[in-house]
Amino acid sequence: MAEPPGMTETAQPGAEHSADSYLPEHGNGGYRTRHYDLDLDYRIATNRLTGRATITAVATQGLSRFSLDLAGLQVKQVLVDGAAARFTHAGHKLHVRPASPVPVDAVFQVDVRYAGRPRPIAGRWGDLGWDELTDGVLVASQPVGAPSWFPCNDHPADKASYRIAVTAATPYTVIATGKLTARRRGASTTAWVYDLPEPTPAYLVSVQIGRYERIDLSARWPVQRAAVPGRLRRQFAHDFGRQGEMMRALQRFFGPYPFGEYAVVVTDDDLDDPIEAQGMSIFGANHVDGRRTHERLVAHELAHQWFGNSLTVADWQHIWLNEGFATYAEWLWSEASGGGSVNALARLWHTRLVLRPMDLRVADPGVDRMFDERLYKRGALTLHALRRAVGDERFFRLLRAWVAENHHGTVTTRAFIALAERHAGRPLTNLFDAWLYAAPLPDPPLT
């Protein structure tokens, strides 16, 4: 099996990292994961997590040692193919030396038992990962928070399937990425089991725990459900009342929804920003006000199921392929639902961006500007410029082809440009050089 784009092919000391251009210290080389089986027991009152992670992987070279990402938790035992392995754990790296080397192309299994009080990973983007709420848990891992709660290969290009079992106190609801396949109630606790068959990077795997009421949003395909605090149920019913219509609209633009289900979680705490996970979007209580004030964010997070989740960047340098597309989806939904037109929103944001520093290159913003608002808006303007250049029919055919041809895969800017030129039937070098690779803002692209 070939190494995913952006991953190193060596497991030598000092190189047990990814080759990601922005975050080389996150992720690991020498293997690819295929499946994670996570069994977690979480005590909410004491913030105590006991876990067992069974990871199935394939070696892309002979491995006498390898590493996993895990931070802030104590490792009790590591087995490789059932045999005890030597290990050291420092910082966010778990270094493993199996009893016998793993041959190239061999499928092998790593069993890690661990425990502790999980806490988010602090970094340039704030606290990421497993985080305590006032009464429950939030997991927000993008881009590097997954190691706060399970051992993983924390690189966006390394995608695997998951089974996630979480045991928590019975009054609480556990929502995890995937489809709920079992719920077993004990004397005081309940075990919730979710299966996630679609290839998924570690940062998009999530667990949400709270005193939630479960709501069916749509029984039609795709199934859409929500978990909401009871006090917000009335406001939620209005704010998400167009969820089915929004899902149908985005499918018209981008093609079929890429997963079997879609879950919306509203925490009982406020959040600075909503969060996307595989087949799931998480909002704060402050995003639900009964007036649809934040409906553009609802569209943005839903669009990430196509752009970011099914189509995952091969390297964090290409983050505009997530955020520019999701921002453009906001504009498309606004026009489709009777709000401001795409042209009006493009003009508005171009006017605002003209007044801000022009020192950002969309296709390579730098690690400190991965989530800069200018990247989001300029990325959307890039798509609108492309739409103006090729016309509506070719533009939307291109978007649907981009989604279909890269279904559950990894993507790069270069691949998108190549597909765009194929659909346009001519080179688009000047357009993409101006919008993606140059810092000055081009003229507004109004259709």
In tens, the pLDDT along 259-299 reads 999 999 999 999 999 999 999 999 999 999 999 999 999 99
Given this model, what pLDDT does residue 275 score?
Answer: 96
129 CB-contact burial (10 Å; exposed 0-12 / middle 13-18 / buried 19+): buried
Residue range(s) in the chain whose domain bears CATH number 1.10.390.10: 312-437
**Residue 14: is its pLDDT beyond 60?**
no
- Percent of the chain at pLDDT > 90 equals 93
- Give the CA count within 13 Å in the CB-facing half-sphere of 129: 26
At residue 123 the predicted structure's pLDDT band, cuts being 50, 70 and 90, is confident
Residue 416 has pLDDT above 80, yes or no: yes
pLDDT tens-digit map of 389-401: 999 999 999 999 9
Domain 312-437 has CATH 1.20.1250.20: no
Q: CATH top-level class for 1-211? A: mainly beta
Q: What share of the chain is helix, strand, coil (3-state, %, to 5)?
A: 30, 30, 40
Burial label, 348 (beta-carbon count in 10 A; 0-12, 13-18, 19+): middle
Please provide the DSSP assignment of 145-201 as one string. -GGGTS-B---TT--EEEEEEEEEETTSEEEESSEEEEEEE-SSEEEEEEEEEEEE-
Q: Taking CA 50 as the corner, what is the angle to CA 48 and CA 55, rounded to the nearest 5 degrees?
A: 140
Name the segment(s) of the chain with CATH classification 3.30.2010.30: 212-305
User: pLDDT band at 16, cuts 50/70/90?
Assistant: low
CA–CA distance, 196 with 278 (Å, rounded to integer): 9
Q: Where in the chain is the domain with CATH 2.60.40.1730?
A: 1-211
pLDDT(317) > 50: yes
pTM of structure: 0.95
- How far is CA 237 from each of CA 33, 255, 269, rounded to the nearest angstrom? 40, 26, 18
Q: Which residues contact 162 (CB under 8 A, 6 or more apart)?
A: 35, 36, 37, 38, 177, 178, 194, 195, 196, 200, 205
Report pLDDT digits (tens) over 60-87: 999 999 999 999 999 999 999 999 999 9
CATH of region 212-305: 3.30.2010.30
pLDDT at 6: 36
What's the token pair of residue 6? Answer: 């952006």
